[in-house]
Chains A and B, each alone.
Chain A
Amino acid sequence: MKRPPIYGLMAEFDTPEEVVTAARKTHEAGYKKIDAYSPFPIEELAEAIGFHHNGVPLVVLVGGLLGCFSGFLLQWWINTISYPVNIGGRPHNSWPAFIPVTFEMTILFAGIFAVFGMLALNGLPMPYHPVFNMERFAFASRDRFFLIIFATDAKYDSGGTRQFLEGLKPHSISEVPS
């Protein structure tokens, strides 16, 4: 597919309330391919653009289970099959003694999956992104709030969409080149 020359239309807002209201109205108006940018996490903003659930908890659960079972199986296999040592008649599979390492492996795998899973789901690392083409976007990491409607959205047409965004009373509107 040929990429359109315009990546999207970006509106800039002064306060978190404004961007949340605008995002909600945009979503309600039927725009689906939208995103918002803020210098700190705003729970309502994700809700407003229609993003309710993310896959991170499932990834962490999988990681935790993987760590738990591999940690225990490793110790079980070593002590019963690969290298069984009889110490004072204790059973080879003396599982209570294996719990601390099993626990640590659970935490280790769950933690690693949480971090790298979150980054992977976010598509990071991605040093270049079209939104960085906009000079004002540097303030998205300081005190400004942005809302973008992507050009790939079904309802997108440059004139009408701009008019719609103007109705949301933003600080400014600009086209993001692709």
Chain B
Amino acid sequence: MPQPTETEQGRAPVIEPGHTFASITDKISAIVLTRPVSWGWIVGFAISFLVMQGLLFGAGYLFVKGVGIWGVNIPIGWGFAIVNFVWWIGIGHAGTLISAILLLLRQQWRNSINRFAEAMTLFAVACAGIFPLLHLGRPWLFYWLFPYPNTMNYWPQFRSPLVWDVFAVSTYGTISLLFWYVGLVPDLATLRDRAQNKALKIIYGMLAMGWRGSARHWHRYETAYLLLAGLATPLVLSVHTVVSFDFAIGIVPGWHTTIFPPYFVAGAIYSGFAMVLVLAIPIRKFYGVEDLITERHLENSAMVMLATGWIVAYGYAMEAFMNWYGGSPYENYLRWNRLHGPYAPWYYLLLFCNILVPQVLWIRKFRTKPLWLFLVSLDVLVGMWLERFIIVVVSLHRDFLTSSWGMYYPTRWDWAIFLGTIGLFASAMFLFIRILPMISIFELRTLLPEAKTGGPTQEAEA
């Protein structure tokens, strides 16, 4: 196996030299167990928690008054709810990509960022799931979406992509949670053994389920982990494919196109890596883990962003080309309407954020300087949100009949709930980095040169 700690072609190492099994263990578990709560954390958590109240009040008011408090109306019946749903679920996809696909591809640099990327996935899916439920109109009847025997003698329509979506997103949420928890078990055992406080010992002990690192256990564990990665890989691709089917199966101009599945998946990974960087850059600075999340991680993530950004750009180009080349006057009008219609400024802003600005990542300085990379990532997050806005709103607001054209104006409740989910996401991340190891300790141990067992055992055999 190649030694990942050695510098390859002058690139930064995955782990800075000088670490041992003990130093890694102590450093990461100390963040949870002994580090005092800082003012920065308290203020950050308080702000996130305050912003989250937008979701609480917005959703509460929606339960009282109904979806009329939103700006949705015919012809734009989807509005912010679906824009935000697609945006959040896309962000989640980078976590699964890092934890599953990069594991199968033996990209060992993933080991220091997979844990919090998986947590990010979980919280992003939670935020995403809220929107379609609130959008139902009668959210308290959400369980009607699932096939269960009922007195109405009624079943869901399995030919509809909206039902596929229910299955895809709930499977994705479940598998992400299991994957994350299984990855945590050995590290929870480490925390159980390190904790000085009796109560903490019991809590972490319960969560670790008595993990003791037996060779037999590790053997089954590794098999299960690898198989889970193998299952999560097609799953993550299928989830955003099904999300894109919500659009592509319809006949609305701008939605009815075969490029949607790959273009949605690429866009999801694009925005997801942007979120990984938005989280990783401040975390590594404030918690002093720059030796574990190194420049190498930033640079690799930036390169993934650049590559997926180009796939997305290709998607835009092909969309516009096919609208024109396909010969349908409605599709052709959509292209014109995007460029010159009432929402044109947002379309240009989208092209600016998603295609123009990220090209700075060709320059190495922008890939390795945290501040610049942070700003580019924020820009991509905005751009990807605008992309979903353009897809949902611009397509719906002017379709086949001019008599049914209209405009969409989000209300304050649309904004309150959207910002509220950002607050929910940030609050959950703040709690996560304080109560669970945010970097996978046992997977980092395997990256150290000492973890190699090749040489002496072969001598013993001979």
Point out residues on A near B: beta carbons under 8 Å: 15-18, 20-21, 23-25, 35-46, 48-49, 51, 54-57, 60, 74-75, 78-79, 82-83, 85, 87, 90, 94, 97-98, 100-101, 103-105, 107-108, 110-112, 114-115, 117-119, 121-122, 124-129, 131-132, 137-143
Contact = CB atoms under 8 A, between A and B. Distances in A.
A122 B215 CA distance: 11
Given A17-B456, A104-B168, A108-B175, A42 B221 contact: no
Given A56-B224, A57-B223, 19 more contacts: A17-B452, A23-B215, A37-B214, A38-B213, A38-B218, A40-B21, A54-B223, A56-B220, A87-B159, A100-B168, A103-B238, A107-B238, A111-B232, A117-B224, A118-B223, A126-B209, A142-B22, A142-B194, A143-B21
A39 B213 contact: yes
A104 B223 CA distance: 21
A24 B214 CA distance: 15
Nearest to A53: B219
A121 B171 CA distance: 24
Given A21-B460, A97-B159, A114-B227, A142 B212 contact: no
Interface stretch (B45-53, B366-374, B443-451): B443-451
A44 B235 contact: no
B56 interface: no
23 contacts: A16-B450, A39-B186, A40-B21, A41-B219, A43-B219, A46-B215, A46-B218, A54-B223, A57-B223, A57-B227, A100-B238, A100-B242, A101-B167, A104-B171, A107-B171, A108-B171, A111-B178, A115-B182, A122-B217, A122-B220, A129-B210, A141-B25, A141-B213
B450 A15 contact: yes
Contacts, number: 219
Nearest to A121: B220
Q: Which of B26, B182, B220 has most A Cβ within 10 Å? A: B220
B228 interface: yes
B151 to A, nearest CB: 14
Nearest to B181: A115
A66 B221 CA distance: 22
A114 to B, nearest CB: 5
Contacts of A142: 21-22, 25-26, 190, 193-194
Nearest to A22: B460
Interface in B416-458: 442-443, 445-446, 450-453, 455-457
Contacts of B234: 103, 107
